[in-house]
Chain A
């Protein structure tokens, strides 16, 4: 026989075996699919809105308007270990990278341009030089900072929240924030397409913005404040704000974009059917621009840090003089490779924060938009979005030591806080003709027939129980409202009270319920004005009686109906 008798499976048998093995592998892969290809953590899961209230433990006391922090910064800041790892020569040049942003005008003015300059305030008064370098890409700026190539990191406070955990892995490159440069005031904004009139209208729409940037904080904070779940909006991410604007213009299926000036103002001019929804001119105490120094550098050279802080304040003084200001514009234009006119056009994007405003930001524990509250608010928003796991405490980054020293010396006592908006009394009718940016139902729950925010609990016989609160979370709720109102310094706030409808049709007069609801709104306003020193004229108070149930589908939920609602209206046009 030529051929050996075949041993083993036939062709069909082999095929069946092969298919069987394949099926086994496929089945196993399917069974372990969550192990082989996990779907990842849902970054924008539903946010527990109740948690919004619990950012801080309730703090029932605190009626004063200025409380300075009592601790010494060094007690809370993480200690610096090891040998310092930054570049520092005999020529004493501080490498201070900045981005394209008008907020840096004071330091440009103080430095007399971008390059190290023997005629600068820093060289003449404080004995060191400053090298301002344009590093627009925050990742590059961060890497140069971590490597010790630059001593300073530019950024907004919300960027610092994201950068800090990683930078603090090495105690030497931990960021220390000493000074606020400005509040973004018109520099960041949201452009929408079509019939979107308020933030609440964004529900179900597609929005594009740069991920891990101030844009992300801005929009998600807005959504949360408007009571919209971030997951109810379709988010599209880009790497930079510039690309977000480009994507919005290019792709008609995108309903809104968050970007920066000048794009946010150029788009509505050039693209039909688009308009600016809101900008940081309205939310003008939301995005804080700051600079941070490396911890090892700050520890070794406190005199340089002090010189930087003081020099920047002196730069602000300089800018009061129109000729100095023009000079600063031209220096800045040269440094950025722009035209002086282009730089001048950015002048309204930011509000420089002088010494007195810095004091409020760093030292006043009661300021509704101070460092601590801003930091905690950013941390809250980012943690709810699943972007950070182990947040850094605000006092591990904030260092007000230099400000305190300058305060004692009285060097900048002449810089008064002139930013506080003044309000003329206005009526609810007048402002409510416009559409609000944010409408929020603040549920301070009121005891029947009471307009007392701090109403105690009552026992079965209706007797008040001392040392209790009918609404135990009232302090946290007020804190939340204060933070919201603080973010919109120039906006008008409508406080609208409501009653339940339990006595409807039982002989109760509507005037009486209306009066009770007005009293409730007034009580919330007074509580806010007292604790946070808001301008009373910022608020308009209205009582709606029982006309508007909290939930139209459940109008008889009376505990829910006894409430106050807050709406933020854009500042009245000047």
Chain B
């Protein structure tokens, strides 16, 4: 490292004077936004503050929950037959954990989501890249993807039943279908978003069609594709209830359906909370792996 470089960042222009001493904390705002009120556009925020702010709505929600479910059953704002209190929900946790084998069912559902996702990526990734690269492929498949986006997915359950039976295959295939419908347009958009300049440069340098796809379009689109996969992975959890409607008995969708019919109500809310926890950690994992794979993406912002 050369000691001549100014400490605050790269030199602006040759000949311009080094302006100020390096600032500690937030970087200088662009001109015209020297606003110092409570809310500032694109204000940098310390990690602890961001955590704290993130916790506030959660706590508020919890407080409202406690408020509407306090007191004897008949005196509550919302009856326990609709919404049990947080304490009641927590008290029913051992029953869910032991009698209804929460972890095993969670593992079963997680496995189904992962398998469905893998299958969906295996199909929609090549399709999405081809559609993003070649206009003719795109023209051919766009109507299908548009229909897919408007399709009420639940109506496909009986169809997957007759095609794939009632076992594990049907659940995975149903989830794969739901994932694909979501992923293909995102993959296309990711490849689409690659600037033409890169392509032109590649052609100037004598790249062939396949090289342009594999060495220009794909590498540049990778971070966006990863981001699409990260967003898409959550979609499976919203369809788990539909996927597990048949052959109930394993999986958390079955727990919810069963609890709706014969209680305890508490388990519905507990399972929802569990999905949130799982979603949080898998999303962290996606983000972490993303940072590892595409460190340069973080610097873009």
Q: Which residues of A contact B (CB under 8 A)?
A: 36-41, 81-83, 85, 138-139, 143, 146-148, 162-163, 165-167, 169-173, 208, 211-213, 235-240, 243, 246-247, 249-251, 253-254, 387-388
Contacts and interface: CB of A to CB of B under 8 A. Distances in A.
Contacts of B157: 243
Q: Which are the 9 A-B pairs with shortest beta-carbon distances?
A: A82-B74, A40-B101, A212-B261, A166-B263, A237-B248, A146-B81, A37-B103, A250-B162, A162-B262
Interface residues of B, number: 39
B80 A170 contact: yes
27 contacts: A37-B107, A38-B97, A41-B98, A41-B99, A82-B72, A138-B261, A146-B79, A146-B82, A162-B262, A166-B262, A166-B264, A170-B79, A170-B80, A173-B81, A208-B166, A211-B258, A211-B261, A212-B258, A213-B261, A238-B247, A243-B245, A247-B161, A249-B162, A250-B162, A250-B165, A253-B165, A388-B262
A164 B80 CA distance: 13
Contacts of B254: 237
B246 A239 contact: yes
Contact of A243 (B97, B100, B104, B246): B246
Contacts of A213: 261
B166 A85 contact: no
Instruction: Name which of A82, A148, A162, A249 has the most chain B CB atoms within 10 A of its CB.
Output: A82
Contact of A81 (B72, B99, B166, B257): B72
Interface of B: 72-75, 79-82, 97-101, 103-105, 107, 157-158, 161-163, 165-167, 245-249, 254, 257-258, 260-265
B262 A212 contact: yes
A429 to B, nearest CB: 43
Instruction: Name which of B100, B248, B265 has the most chain A CB atoms within 10 A of its CB.
Output: B248
Nearest to A386: B99
Contacts of A82: 72-75
Given A38-B101, A39-B104, A147-B79, 6 more contacts: A37-B107, A40-B98, A170-B80, A240-B245, A243-B158, A247-B247
A173 B79 contact: yes
A236 B265 contact: no
Instruction: Name which of A81, A170, A254 has the most chain B CB atoms within 10 A of its CB.
Output: A170
Contacts of A163: 262
Given A237-B247, A243-B158, A251-B165, A166 B81 contact: yes
Nearest to A237: B248
B161 A139 contact: no
Contacts of A41: 98-100
A208 B80 CA distance: 33
B265 A166 contact: yes
B158 A139 contact: no
A139 B256 CA distance: 11
Contacts of B161: 243, 246-247, 250-251
B56 to A, nearest CB: 29
A147 B82 contact: yes
A169 B261 contact: no
Nearest to B164: A250
Contacts of B81: 146, 166-167, 169-170, 173
A236 B101 CA distance: 18
A249 B247 CA distance: 14
A238 B254 CA distance: 9
Contacts of B261: 138-139, 162, 211-213
A157 to B, nearest CB: 14
Nearest to B105: A40
A166 B81 CA distance: 6
Given A139-B260, A237-B248, A83 B104 contact: no
A211 B248 contact: yes
A170 B257 contact: no
Contacts of A235: 249
Contacts of A83: 74
Instruction: Name which of B75, B79, B100, B265 has the most chain A CB atoms within 10 A of its CB.
Output: B79
A49 to B, nearest CB: 24
B82 A172 contact: no
A237 B249 contact: yes
A41 to B, nearest CB: 4
A81 B74 CA distance: 6
A167 B254 CA distance: 21
A55 B262 CA distance: 22
Contacts of B158: 243, 246
A250 to B, nearest CB: 4
A33 to B, nearest CB: 10
Contacts of A165: 263
Given A243-B245, A250-B165, A39 B101 contact: yes
A238 B79 contact: no
A37 B73 CA distance: 33
A544 to B, nearest CB: 42
Contacts of A39: 101, 104
A250 B166 contact: yes
A260 B253 CA distance: 24
Contact of B99 (A40, A169, A247, A254): A40
Contacts of B163: 250
A171 B82 contact: no
A251 B261 CA distance: 26
A169 B74 contact: no
B122 to A, nearest CB: 25
A148 B158 CA distance: 34
A244 B283 CA distance: 36
Nearest to B101: A40
Contact of A170 (B74, B97, B262): B74
Contacts of B248: 211, 237-239
A163 B262 CA distance: 6
Contacts of A238: 166, 245-248
B165 A40 contact: no
A99 to B, nearest CB: 14
Contacts of B107: 37
A39 B98 CA distance: 7
A315 B15 CA distance: 99
B94 to A, nearest CB: 10
A216 to B, nearest CB: 10
B263 A171 contact: no
Nearest to A83: B74
A167 B167 CA distance: 34
A231 B256 CA distance: 23
A250 B246 CA distance: 12
B263 to A, nearest CB: 4
Contacts of A208: 166, 247
A239 B257 contact: yes
Nearest to B106: A37
Nearest to A250: B162
A148 B74 CA distance: 12
A155 to B, nearest CB: 11
A47 B34 CA distance: 76
A329 to B, nearest CB: 28
Nearest to A236: B247
Nearest to A85: B79
Contacts of B98: 38, 40-41
Contacts of A147: 79, 82
Contacts of B167: 251
Nearest to B253: A239
Nearest to A137: B260
Contacts of A173: 79, 81
Contacts of B257: 211, 239
Contacts of B75: 82
Contacts of A251: 161, 165-167
B106 to A, nearest CB: 9
A212 B261 CA distance: 6
A141 to B, nearest CB: 11
